Structure 1
Amino acid sequence: MNIPDSLPDGVPATIPDPIPHHIGGEPAASADGATFDVLAPATNEVYTRAAAGGKADVDAAVAAARRAFADGPWPRMRDRERARVLGRIADAVESVDEELAAMESFDTGLPITQAKGQARRAAENFRFFADLVVARSDDAYKVPGLQLNYVNRKPVGVAGLITPWNTPFMLESWKLAPALAAGCTVVLKPAEFTPLSASLWARVFAAAGLPDGVFNLVNGIGEVAGEALVTHPGVDLVSFTGETGTGRRIFANAADGLKGLSMELGGKSPALVFADADLDAALDSTLFGVFSLNGERCTASSRILVERSVYDAFVSRYAERAAAVKVGPPDDPATEVGALVHPEHFRRVMDYVDSGRSEAELVAGGGRPEHLPDGNYLSPTVFAGVPPTARIFQEEIFGPVVAITPFDTEDEAVGLANDVPYGLAGYVWTNDLRRAHRVADRIEAGMVWINSHNVRDLRSPFGGVKASGLGQEGGHRSLDFYTEQQAVHVALGEVPTARFGAGGYDDRDPFFSGARSLR
């Protein structure tokens, strides 16, 4: 399809056509010349194309990354030298804040007020890992007079990074910053729905002085470019953020190569609201938790479990507030919920809304706002009295749709919270401190917030359990993932050794004496 002569309103000024790959320090078209259309969520009009990567393009990107790792300076730099480059990357990211916000809002459908600040968050990720890689310490153990044991930490190699389409630039920085801080070289495969802002990385890295070949990017469809990256023998580890079904395929595809995997997958996170909670704060937080970012967030509090004595009042207030949320064009500063990312995803979310009508009581939303006849718009949608067997209770929707369910006892609340395949996040609202800690401990989730929405410290682990992921990133855990730890043991004195072929055993030899260490 050709790009229209008249682009939709609000289109950022600097849009490549087509959006190229970036391989070995240079922009690159696909080897076979293939491209795919990129749509504006507010109108579903094609506004540009992106190079559609295939196996040949992934081969070229991995080869460039492998050369940069084997022969280039990046893995051999001192931590402090790499940290200086990461600091310059952070500065360069902040310099494109306004341009990035326009790109993210236009390409993803996110409200512009929520797209702003993504560059600052991305820059903070680079500054954080620049500090962490310099401050990290490795283990050393000394057995006086006998042995010194220490740990070498080395970058693993070529990292394959596959990222999602919700707040894409910031989420790409979550992977790029620790991978580069550790000394790895990378091949990034951004989500095909939202390739626009990823095109900024090449400019950012060049401005910061990152050596050519350390960063490579291949656009494309997940089943083609993504699969080629995961199965490539030159890729040493894969970090993926996305939905659980795709994660299962990546897990299977990576098995033959025994690649290291870190996967942050889907979620169906509960918010447990007890009668003694600050209900005003709980209302504000749970509304924000599911309707911000258009509901397209993995940690969304998409199931709200409310103690029965306050349930009716809470549902009434929640529905009233949801109905008042402003749905509008992404570039309008007054918009609170914009357009869903793609017509394919919009149809999927609407299928859940239709299912919910037969499973529970619709108390707000449920359809397209009348004033927005085009694009992927859905009014904030609230279902009440949702049974735990309902699809909208059990399955991730990833849109502005929430299920509210009553409970009578603490045990019932915990049982409902855990009665889904997922275990990414959980939220507990109560002013009983003992109950707060007790319930948080019982929730099957990688992360729990008490009397708060998702406010995260970058030092803390991020990841889920059950169908929500494999491994955790954040802080030193990210550096652990992108590095190998090598134990080195140095003899400081005579080592008792059995003299095979020379007769007899030395009963001081720890191997034969049954000792497990020299301590």
Structure 2
Amino acid sequence: MRNYMKFYIGGEWIEPKGAKALDVINPATEKVVGKISLGSAADVDAAVKAARTAFDSWSQTSVDVRIAMTLKIAEIYQKRAGEIGEAISEEMGAPAWLAGGPQAMSAVGHLMTAVEAMKNFKFEEDKGGSHIVKEPIGVCGFITPWNWPMNQLAAKFAPAILTGCTIVHKPSEIAPFSAYLFAEILDEAGLPAGVYNLVNGDGPTVGAAISSHSDIDMVSFTGSTRAGVEVAKAAAPSVKRVHQELGGKSPNIILEDADLGPAVAGSLATLMMNSGQSCLAPTRMIAPNSKMKEILEIAKKAVEDWTPGDPATAKMGPVVSEAQWNKIQGLIEKGVAEGATVVAGGPGKPEGLETGYYVKPTIFADVTNDMTIAREEIFGPVLVIIGYDTEEEAIKIANDTEYGLAGYVQSGDIDHARHVASKIRAGYININNSQMDFSVPFGGYKRSGNGREFGEHAFEEFLELKSVLGYNPAAAA
């Protein structure tokens, strides 16, 4: 049983200011596996004061000092990656292979990618007789999600500290264990007091306090579009910068010239690997009607490899919570009611898995893009397959969504794939199920958010621009 009742503020583990306890549930067993404190606005205020004090000195450190600190953090993190993987599996149900691999190790990828980008980053430049400076924005509020807890924290943390900012962080109260371990790593690394501060809590209390706090200069939020709107509203009166990575309903266009086996099975793996709980998952497969029979056969066969079970040994674990399970079940039932055909899976729990928030990996065919399951983000292991007759129709379906986080194209002709990719209105396009790239910008169009993460492009989110006129009088003359 984990007992994480203190907050990390100003370089110390301190008692919350009158917080109440919250049980943390293992989604595979439905048992309580730990307790955390739910903080208050007073706890946020204490964290902000610590971060503001630390900013005065941390913002003036050299790039070399900040790089050295980031490398030390990465070194210690790797030594404790096994612990972090165990915590992630326990708190949000990721299977061991995923929790200890991509889930835990993505943080190292972000830290090291950001360090390499920072080595060549320019904070100053001359323009005629003037001078342009990029300065750290200040105290940053982080509100991170449960689905990729370390990936999303590291993607924000690395550019923030490397640019000289300080942090107040609220992890998801559903999956808080890994963030607690991360704070221990920062403490062991000797990160100066107040540069990073951890306050557990829920969205309506701690999340709202971070978003609205007048002495927080920017807030970076990852989560649902609905919650992102509330963050932006709370932030508006203080006119702080708001960075958001929100929901998705990503299209995956299977072109006529695609190699159907790897195209369909590879796309299905991308969707299923985190029990469908990834914002960029290719949840809408847009497939040619002329090859629909073969595509359905491949998909049905491929999904058999994604049998859910005990996270210690299975390829797929449960979804994160009872509330999430109920939401997914409601949308699966909605798909059936609206006339989609269940190719695999369907409502209810898998046979033999009555305990735990397990969902049957589900595939729907005969889906039209106006159905609820094609419009709403399900955030579970559910694939909808939509047919098309012409390429123009496929592109139109792909863009007929309020979201624009990611898009996928499958083709045997790279020039053809590039052409179709250029037509998709989304921020992160993947051709032929390519590997993730932490060095290129990640973020969305439309209701999928604003701003970008990853690599050097993330630095700009944490910097202010200052123009100094008359800086170079000789050049102006």
**Aligned residue for 2:446?**
466
Paired residue secondary structure (1:267): coil
8 A Cα contact 2:123 2:135, kept in partner? no
Specify whether residues 386 and 218 from structure 1 end up closer, same or farther in structure 2 by C-alpha distance, changes over 3 A only: same
Does the residue aligned with 1:51 lie in a helix, a strand or coil?
strand
> Radius of gyration: which is bigger?
1
- Counterpart of 2:32, as a letter, is V
Q: 1:128 aligns with which of 107, 113, 128?
A: 113
How far apart, in 2, do the equivalents of 1:105 and 1:135 lie? Answer: 37
Secondary structure (helix, strand or coil) at the match of 1:174 reads helix
- Give, as a single letter, the amino acid of the residue that structure 2 aligns with 1:75: S
Which residue in the other structure is 2:82 paired with?
98
Give the superposition deviation at 1:181: 0.7
484-493 vs 47-56, which moves further: 484-493
SS of residue matched to 1:224? helix
Q: Deviations over 1:60-105 (max 9, x none)?
A: 11111111113xx321110011100000000011011111111111
Opposite residue 57 of structure 1, the aligned amino acid is D
Aligned counterpart in structure 2 of residue 39 of structure 1, from 20, 25, 39:
25
Given the two structures, how large is their TM-score scaled by the length of structure 2?
Answer: 0.96
> Match for residue 109 of structure 1?
93
Q: CA deviation at 1:357?
A: 0.9
Deviations 1:92-135 (A, max 9, x none): 11011111111111111111101112333212212222232232
| 8 A contact 2:218–2:242 mirrored in 1 | yes
User: In structure 2, what residue type is equivalent to 1:190?
Assistant: P
* Amino acid in structure 2 at the alignment position of 1:358: A
Give 3-state SS (helix, strand or coil) of 1:295's partner: coil
- Aligned 8 A contact 1:138 1:150 in 2: no
Counterpart pick for 1:354 among 333, 336, 340: 333
Q: CA deviation at 1:432?
A: 3.0
Selected match of 1:390 from 371, 394, 399: 371
Matching residue of 1:233:
214
Higher deviation after alignment, 363-372 or 28-37: 28-37
For 2:471 and 2:143, the matched residues in 1 are separated by 44
1:476 maps to 2:460: no
- CA deviation map 1:42-66 (0-9, x unaligned): 1211121111011111111111111
Find 2:40's aligned residue among 25, 29, 54.
54
Match of 1:508 in 2: none
**SS at structure 2 position matched to 1:256:** helix
**Is 1:340 the counterpart of 2:324 in the alignment?**
no
Residue number in structure 2 paired with 1:432 = 413
Aligned partners of 2:438, 2:132: CA distance in 1, in Å? 25
- TM-superposed CA distance for 1:441, in Å, is 1.1
2:122 to 114, 119, 137: 137
Partner of 2:437: 457
| Structure 2 counterpart of 1:488, from 461, 468, 475 | 468
User: 1:151 deviation in Å?
Assistant: 2.1
Deviations 1:227-283 (A, max 9, x none): 011001110000010000001111111111111111000000011112210111102
Deviations 1:455-499 (A, max 9, x none): 23222110000111111222222111111121223355589xxxx
Kept in 1, the 8 Å contact 2:124–2:134? The answer is no
Aligned counterpart, 2:245:
264
CA-atom RMSD, angstroms? 1.6
Q: TM-score, normalised by structure 1?
A: 0.88
The aligned counterpart of 1:197 is: 178
Q: Which digits, 9 at most, give the CA deviation of each residue in 1:286-309, with x for residues without a partner?
A: 111210111100010101011111
Q: Which residue of 2 aligns with 1:244?
A: 225
Aligned length: 474
**TM superposition shift of 1:36:** 1.1
Corresponding residue for residue 136 of structure 2: 155
Per the alignment, residue 8 of structure 2 pairs with 22
Q: Is the 8 A contact 1:29 1:51 kept in 2?
A: no
Which amino acid in structure 2 is aligned with residue 40 of structure 1?
A: N
Structure 1 runs not aligned, ≥5 long: 1-14, 496-517
Is 1:69 the counterpart of 2:50? The answer is: no
Q: 2:259 maps to what in 1?
A: 278
**2-structure distance, mates of 1:493, 1:321:** 68
Give the AA of the match of 1:23.
I
- In 2: Cα distance, 1:469 partner to 1:493 partner: 42
Deviations 1:381-408 (A, max 9, x none): 0110111111100000000011001111
Q: 1:31 to 1:330 in 2, by over 3 A?
A: same
Instruction: List per-residue Cα deviations over 1:302-348 (Å, max 9, x = no partner).
Output: 0101111111111122123213422101111xx12101101111111
Q: Given that residues 182 and 482 in structure 1 are in contact (C-alpha distance below 8 angstroms), is that contact kept between their aligned partners in structure 2?
A: yes
Letter in 2 for 1:487: S
SS of the aligned residue for 1:428 comes to strand
Partner Cα distance (2:92, 2:447) in 1: 26
Aligned 8 A contact 1:326 1:337 in 2: yes
For residue 416 of structure 1, report the CA deviation from its aligned partner: 0.8
Gaps of 5+ in 2: none
Aligned residue identity for 2:360: S
CA distance in 1 between partners of 2:30 and 2:287 (Å) = 38
